[in-house]
Structures are given as C-alpha cells and as structure tokens.
C-alpha cells in the first residue's frame, strides 16, 4: 500500500527543497520497484486519470471536427500512458547512468532511476492538465523545463557526478532523449505510414 502522506511530502520536497529530498532518497539507493511503487506509479496513475476525465470535458478539436474519445479509447490510452511512461523512464535511467559514467560519475542505474523518478515530478503533475486548451500544453512545457532544472540540481547528489560536468551531462541527456524519441516514433509510426501509402 502506498503511503500517501510520504508521497505528498516527497512531491512537496522535490518542488521546494530538491537537494535535501534527493539526498534523503538515495542514501541508500532504493530498488527500482520501490521507486516505481511508492512514487512514480501513483503519480502516473493520478495524472492519467486526470487526463482521462479532462479528455471527456475538453475534447480534441482538429479543424472543424470535434474528437470525443469513448470509454474504451480512454481506458486504452490510460494503460498505454502509464506503461509507456514506465518503460521510457527505465530506458532514460540507463542513458543517464551511462552519461554519468562518461563524465566521471556513478553508472548505477538504480540511482539514475531514482534521480529521474523524483526529478520528473513536476512533469508528471503538469501532464495531468494537458487536455486543457492552451493552458495544458503551456503547463506541460513548464513542468518539463522545471524537471530538467531539478535534474541539473540533483544529478551530482544521486550519481556523484562532478559539479562541473552536470551541465554537459544534462545537455547530452536532452539531446540523446530527443534522438531516442525520434527513433521510437519512427519505429512505431513507420509501419502505419507505410501501410497508408498507395
């Protein structure tokens, strides 16, 4: 069972005192499943549930068409969103650990997963409001930027990365993440595009 009070304290800590909060959660480094169960999964589920509700209230408008998802669509998107986010987080943790090792830090994937799981808290929260017209995407971008700020501030704590390399680590992490996203989208959408062409 998830300790809701501990989760709230962790969320508030990452938003207000990230260094102290990260230090408290990487000494010792917890197993990945504990980070998933106690922090990441509850936030992803809550965020996906908010997205599901808001999708009914604020349907997607493309041109003159209004796309209102049905219950089955929302359920599928809910599962894909949560499962997909966990897989992506795990892959990115491996990337963060690899880059940290290159710059003289720790290559501990569990520590990197803890780093990302906690640092991405603002993004997980902001994603909950993504269906809101105009405001949702702006909040999502703000959440992503603040998550990167938290990652920049706490990487030396979680991965023992020398302070002077944290900027290079973050820039390379963002660039490699974008490349991985592009490759993943190409793999996933490639067959769909190919089957749609004459």
26 in a structural domain? yes
Task: Give the residue from 23, 3, 22 showing the smallest Cα distance to 14.
Answer: 22
Given a cut of 70, whether residue 62 has pLDDT beyond it is no
* Residue 191: predicted pLDDT: 59
Residue 155 lies in a domain: yes
Q: Is 66 contained in some domain?
A: yes
Tokens 């990441």, residue located:
40
pLDDT tens digits, 119-133: 999 999 999 999 888
Q: Exposed, middle or buried: residue 48 (CB in 10 Å: 0-12, 13-18, 19+)?
A: buried
Query: Is residue 195 situated within a structural domain?
Result: no
Residue 49 inside a domain? The answer is yes
Indicate the number of domains in the chain.
1
Residue 82's H or E segment, with its range, is helix 71-102
Task: For residue 184, name the pLDDT band (cuts at 50, 70, 90).
Answer: confident
Is 9 within the bounds of a domain? yes
Q: Which two tokens stand for residue 83?
A: 């499962």
What is the span of the domain harbouring residue 92?
4-182
Per-residue pLDDT tens digits for 65-90 = 777 777 888 888 889 889 999 999 99
pLDDT in tens, 13-40: 999 999 999 999 999 999 999 999 999 9
Residue 107: what pLDDT? Answer: 95
Is 136 domain-assigned? yes
pLDDT for residue 194 is more than 70: no
Asked whether residue 103 is assigned to any structural domain, the reply reads: yes
């Amino acid at each position: 069972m998830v300790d809701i009070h501990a989760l709230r304290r962790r969320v508030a800590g990452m938003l207000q005192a990230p260094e102290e909060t990260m230090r408290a959660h990487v000494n010792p480094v917890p197993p990945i499943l504990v980070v998933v169960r106690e922090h990441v999964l509850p936030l992803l589920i809550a965020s996906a549930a908010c997205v599901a509700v808001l999708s009914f209230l604020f349907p997607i408008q493309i041109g003159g068409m209004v796309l209102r998802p049905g219950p089955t669509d929302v359920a599928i998107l809910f599962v894909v969103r949560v499962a997909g986010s966990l897989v992506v987080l795990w892959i990115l943790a491996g990337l963060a650990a690899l880059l940290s090792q290159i710059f003289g830090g720790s290559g501990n994937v569990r520590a990197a997963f803890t780093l990302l799981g906690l640092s991405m808290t603002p993004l997980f929260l902001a994603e909950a409001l993504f269906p809101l017209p105009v405001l949702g995407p702006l909040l999502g971008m703000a959440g992503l930027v603040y998550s990167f700020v938290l990652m920049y501030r706490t990487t030396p704590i979680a991965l023992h990365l020398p302070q002077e390399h944290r900027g290079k680590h973050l820039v390379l992490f963002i660039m490699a993440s974008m490349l991985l996203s592009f490759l993943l989208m190409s793999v996933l959408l490639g067959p769909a595009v190919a089957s749609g062409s004459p």
